[in-house]
Amino acid sequence: MKLLHTADWHIGRTLNGYSLLDEQKYAFKQILKIAKDEKVDGIVIAGDIYDRAIPGTDAIMALNEMFKEINIDNKFPIYAISGNHDGAKRLNYGRDWMEFNNFHINTLLEEAFTPIETPDTQIFLLPFFDPMDARVYYQKQGMDEDKVKSIKNISDAMALVLADMYRIFDPNKKHLLVTHFAVSASADKEIELTSETTSKVGGLETLTASQFDKFDYVMLGHIHTRLASPNERIRYSGSPVKFNVKEAKTTYNKGVYIVDTEKEADKTDLREILPGTDLIVLNETWENLLDPEFYSKQPVRKDWFAITIKDFDRTKHVHTNVRAQLQDIYGTVVELDYENIEKKANESTSKNISQLSKEETVDEFFQSITGNQLSKDQKTIVDDIFLELERGE
């Protein structure tokens, strides 16, 4: 069986107020062409299809057209799951009748225990879930109350879920898993959550690759860089579009993986996706940014720019519309920052709040007011609040 593995489309995403929809459509056209060229048996979308639980009308219309092109116009089966950004119940609408057209989408934990069966493969679609979802599910299954209460974190929950999946393995078939979690190579190795939240809310803490070792291949979503993949059999495709400046600083192109159950996975499985409008990061002095010899070498008025002005003295430019002057030269400037002596001093003595997770921000605020860190119970309450807000249910 041959599948195209992609994830984290985040349809409807914006970058500092600028819509990324055209860039997402451009990436989609490349994904569809790759699927045609490779003659795949289906397209896997491993979660975070939308950017938020209640997407805008333009995002809904765009995704609907993409699904139509994949599934109706080109007859490719779709194997999809919801991620932590998706509204699971909303995305679940119409699931039953979509299956008649080989459009398979799981958004609820209980759906994950019925694999998609092909002549030689079982495909398990495990959507994002949190420990509370697992406790509710297993309570309904008649599990002992004490054992239900013992499900404290996502690792506890995942152990039960995977054990139940392994019990229904057909020994005569290959076994594939599509899921949406942070998975590291080992318990002592952290992964770089490039562009995705560093939050541990709702079970986003890291799982380990060994938990999935009975699967022949695992197609992951959630981390936006394929470089976070634990190994060749358990891989992130990464997002098809750069979503922030941190991603723009990387030197590799986005892409998708071609998963062929008849061969061993390796680096040749990657198919690159090129940006339509790239995001260029510049960190230069004001004088250099205005120097024609410098900016003539940049893709001005073609790509987007995130600019940091080094050693900038605001007192010398009080009557200058800095952004307007830069946009007149470079075109779209989606992010503008200033690096000056005062800022450098502050950075050496304080944390950058943009680098903190939501929970860490609350903890920092709590400490500044009370002088104490949040207790374990308080952190659990904060996690639950952010989970409900994020899911938008």
Tokens of 124: 């398990």
Q: What is the pLDDT averaged over residues 4-27? A: 95
Measured distance CA(222)–CA(131) in Å, rounded: 17
pLDDT given for residue 195 in this prediction: 44
Residue 365: band (very low, low, confident or very high) from pLDDT cuts 50, 70, 90: confident
Assigned CATH class of 2-273: alpha beta
Q: What is the pLDDT of residues 201-238, one digit of tens each?
A: 334 567 999 999 999 999 999 999 999 999 999 999 99
At 85, give phi and psi (nearest 5°).
Answer: -85, -20
- Among 219-228, 289-298, 343-352, the minimum mean pLDDT is found in 343-352
DSSP label of 213 = T
Q: What is the pLDDT averaged over residues 237-244? A: 94
Q: What is the pLDDT of residues 156-181, one digit of tens each?
A: 999 999 999 999 999 999 999 999 99
Tokens of 9: 């489309």
pLDDT given for residue 213 in this prediction: 92
Q: What is the pLDDT averaged over residues 327-354? A: 70
Q: What is the pLDDT averaged over residues 315-326? A: 86
Tokens of 3: 């599948």
Q: What is the pLDDT averaged over residues 183-211? A: 61
pLDDT tops 50 at residue 253: yes
Locate the domains of the chain by residue range: 2-273, 279-349, 353-391
**CB burial string 112-149: b at 16+ within 10 A, e below:** bbebbebeebbbbbbbbbbbebbbebbeeeebeeeebe
Q: What is the pLDDT of residues 125-143, one digit of tens each?
A: 999 999 999 999 999 999 9
Half-sphere exposure of 118 (CA within 13 A, CB side): 18
Residue 382: band (very low, low, confident or very high) from pLDDT cuts 50, 70, 90: confident
pLDDT given for residue 90 in this prediction: 83
Count the Cβ atoms, other than its own, within 10 Å of residue 331. Answer: 16
For the chain, the average pLDDT equals 87
Q: What is the pLDDT averaged over residues 61-65? A: 95
Tokens of 119: 């002549």
- Of 210, 207, 34, 219, residue with least CA distance to 123: 219
pLDDT tops 50 at residue 194: no
More confident residue, 95 or 58: 58
In one-letter notation, the amino acid at residue 338 is Y
DSSP string spanning 26-56?
Answer: HHHHHHHHHHHHHT-SEEEEES--BSSSS--
